[in-house]
A and B are shown apart, each in its own frame.
Chain A
Amino acid sequence: MTFAAATSAAATSAALAPAAATSASAASAFAAAAPAGTTSVAATLLLTAPVAAALATAAGYAVLGWRPATAWAGLVSPATILGCAVVLAVRVPGHGPVTGYGGLARADALSAWILLVIGAVAVLACAASPAYLAAENAAGHTDARGARRYGILVHAFLAAMAVAVLVANLGVLWVAIEATTIVTAFLVGHRRTRASVEAAWKYVVICSAGIALAFLGTILIYYAARQAGISEASALDWPVLVARAHELDPDVTRMGIALVILGFGAKAGLVPLHAWLPDAHSQAPAPVSALMSGVLLAVSFTAILRYKVIADVALGPGFARTLLAGAAVLTLALAAALLLGQRDYKRMLAYSSMEHMSLIALGAATGTRLAISAVLLHIAGHGLAKSVAFCSSGHILHLRHTTRIGRVRGLLSQAPVLAAAFGLAVLALLGFPPFSLFASELAIARAGFTGPAGLGWATAAALVLVLAAFAAMTARTAHMLLGPAPGQNGGAAATLVQKDTPVQKDGAAVAVPVHDGGTTTAMPDQDAATAMPARHGGGIAAAPVQDGGTAVTVPVRFGAAVWVPLAVGLAACAALGVSDVPLSSLLSTAAAITGGP
């Protein structure tokens, strides 16, 4: 962020610079506690457990269904993923990559970092799920069958992402990322409204076709590797390809890398195949949007980072840099333009994801070690902040039955805790300290200006566009949070509005029970019809009515199941911004894998 330029570079280096001294920190103390000479059994267990736990949880939901007793069992698989990620994070920086299954599965520092992010975001999303599904159930948008399917698919989704992070074979990596598309298709379309069916269709068609191009790219790299004399078994093996990248035929590799960046870029929300993203992220259930935006984009981008290492050796650093910087600036321009006119808060968050992914792509294009560690920190900070933002947007949807920004006003006085969580998450996404996105955005910009020649202009353009997006998101969020609460007359005490209150033509208090708000998001006629009486009623907005006739009190209070995940997510994002010392050795090792000098 430009406003942050005043802050001295010292702040950034304190937060980011891979200081050698920090490697002798708590991390290595844990490493000593971890099993000393990790046997191959322990390594296999470490690489299997994240996937196995997620699949087992999915199977458990298939058998038992989603009920109050099993709702919280969904935390088992994210907790396992997080636990394995922590052990890997402690072990890998000192002892090198962990491998298993004859080299098919492999976890290096980059895998450990991304697995850590997957685990953290998945814990938040799965902790937010019971409250979200209970509200969906109460509103009649889903039933026991729908909830069971949700449980199965969410955990299968986590398993697919864990596989994508933990494999060394680039072909299997592709299979896992395509599997995430298939698994999430029905999650996007779970409400079965016209809008969500449309979003699901676009999602599957654009992502499958886009990622098919990445497979063509993978085949071309395989062809180049085979012609370079690498054996069939290891020609798609990432470590082998990196070690022998200089032997690959440059022309074939160039085509392959271009297709791979185009294809995985589609799943990472980069132009030109980005059109599915705002639709899918706005229609999916809020915790799934959190997972898709917070980690799936990052997992796909990690695939690009892996190929970039091969490309940098085989073709020189210029080729991937040009493609990534071009995609980054175009995506950012598109996201900023659409944020300026945005009227739907879930789509606003989706375009904000594209904004952040393009910053990540810009950092990757820069490619220095500082830039890559900023990119990885940005991935983590964005994952945490965006999952809080999406999860709270789900509760806002349940409270107000609409996703239109224009019809959400006075959230801060109606539901202070929820509004505070949403507001803080948006502040984090805008890059305010103490959240970690402040440090990482600053470092990406700094690396862009001091890094390789030619990126200065791209970085400058990106900063201008980020500023436009900043202004748009600030104005939209302020509109949602501030103002008088619905049901309040000029700040007076809450009026209880019964569901069966007849709608008065020009009375003082007009209650408009809005039932099926989620489906009305994109229907202007219905929208106008419900908004109209509120305007006639002397500024008293429509009052949402929950749970069949129960009155809504102001302020609305939420149980711990709602606010604890949000608070934990925000605290984690802030903690990461204040100090990443416990993670710095992992971060610097991971940055060294993909980063240049």
Chain B
Amino acid sequence: MSTGTYTQLLDLACGVFLLAAVLVLWRRELTAFVRLFAVQGVALAAIAALSGIHEHRFELLAVAVGILVLRAGVLPYLMRRVLATSGETRETEPLVNVAASLLTAAALTLLAYAAARPLVELAPSPATRALPVGLAVVLIGFFTLVTRRRALAQAVGFLLLDNGITAVAFLATSGVPPIVELGVSFDVLLAVLVLQILTTRIHATFGGTDIDDLRELHD
């Protein structure tokens, strides 16, 4: 693959990756969250595969397949099951409205570009120049986590955060060593399983999954 094609494809994948995160802030339907998360998983797998092909490290293709299965297959499947059991389809009024959320996403992306400057300067390349995208998704994930009120929306926020971190890993260093990658994927899968079970329990004990109802414990 020529360098030009590689750069264009990488930028395309990163663009889709960032756009999916921004759209999560725009949409209200919980099913749309899950679909967008799956799209982002595909984009992430593409980033991993592209860096593997570019650096002729074909074991990265196996990692990319693993990411595709986990983040575009298994995790969205688990979230759909939560949706099916809870019967809730829409995010209630989020703490920050959609317009303000989108503006915040723009501000966070700018912040990510500013913060990532030393990272890009250390080793400028097409991949590291796309690095701020990963950081922006981390920040948007954090923002989703703190402003959305449904349990599932918070879980999606956590997963956006995690996708962003994985993207940073691939763009900066073509991924972390396999043993760490394996452990991290396993941890994320288990964390989502735990969140799934807890969502069911919240639904059973509180009669809904609005996190604002969780106010038993405070000082």
- A residues sitting closer than 8 Å to B (CB atoms) are 104, 169, 171-172, 174-175, 178-179, 181-182, 185-186, 189, 192-195, 197-202, 204-205, 208-209, 212, 215-216, 218-220, 222-224, 226-227, 232-233, 235-236, 249, 251-252, 255, 278-279, 282-283, 338, 341-342, 347, 522
Contacts and interface: CB of A to CB of B under 8 A. Distances in A.
B63 interface: no
Interface of B: 115, 118-119, 121-123, 138, 142, 145, 151, 154-155, 157-158, 161-162, 165, 168-169, 172-173, 176-177, 179-180, 183-184, 186-187, 190-191, 194-195, 197-198, 201-202, 205-206, 211, 214-217, 219
B191 A522 contact: no
A208 B158 contact: yes
A179 B187 contact: yes
A255 B115 contact: yes
A169, A209, A232: which has the most chain B beta carbons within 10 Å?
A209
Contacts, number: 140
A7 B149 CA distance: 54
B122 A189 contact: no
B64 to A, nearest CB: 17
A194 B183 contact: no
A222 B216 CA distance: 41
B118 A201 contact: no
A208 B191 contact: yes
Nearest to A519: B216
A5 to B, nearest CB: 31
Contacts of B198: 185, 189, 197, 200-201, 204
B177 A236 contact: yes
B71 to A, nearest CB: 14
Contacts of A185: 194, 198
A235 B174 CA distance: 13
The 6 closest A-B pairs by CB, nearest first: A171-B180, A175-B183, A251-B118, A198-B214, A223-B172, A195-B216
Nearest to A280: B217
A529 B206 CA distance: 23
Nearest to B123: A227
A417 B142 CA distance: 48
A193 B205 contact: yes
Given A169-B177, A189-B201, A208-B191, 20 more contacts: A169-B180, A171-B177, A171-B179, A171-B180, A172-B183, A189-B198, A194-B206, A197-B206, A200-B201, A201-B214, A202-B217, A205-B145, A209-B142, A209-B161, A219-B165, A224-B122, A227-B122, A233-B177, A236-B177, A252-B119
Contacts of A342: 219
A274 B173 CA distance: 31
A251 B122 contact: yes
30 contacts: A171-B180, A171-B183, A172-B180, A174-B180, A175-B184, A175-B186, A178-B187, A182-B187, A193-B205, A198-B202, A198-B215, A199-B217, A200-B198, A201-B214, A202-B214, A209-B157, A212-B158, A212-B161, A215-B184, A216-B168, A222-B176, A223-B173, A227-B123, A251-B119, A255-B115, A255-B119, A283-B217, A341-B219, A342-B219, A347-B219
Nearest to B187: A178
Given A198-B216, A233-B177, A223 B119 contact: yes
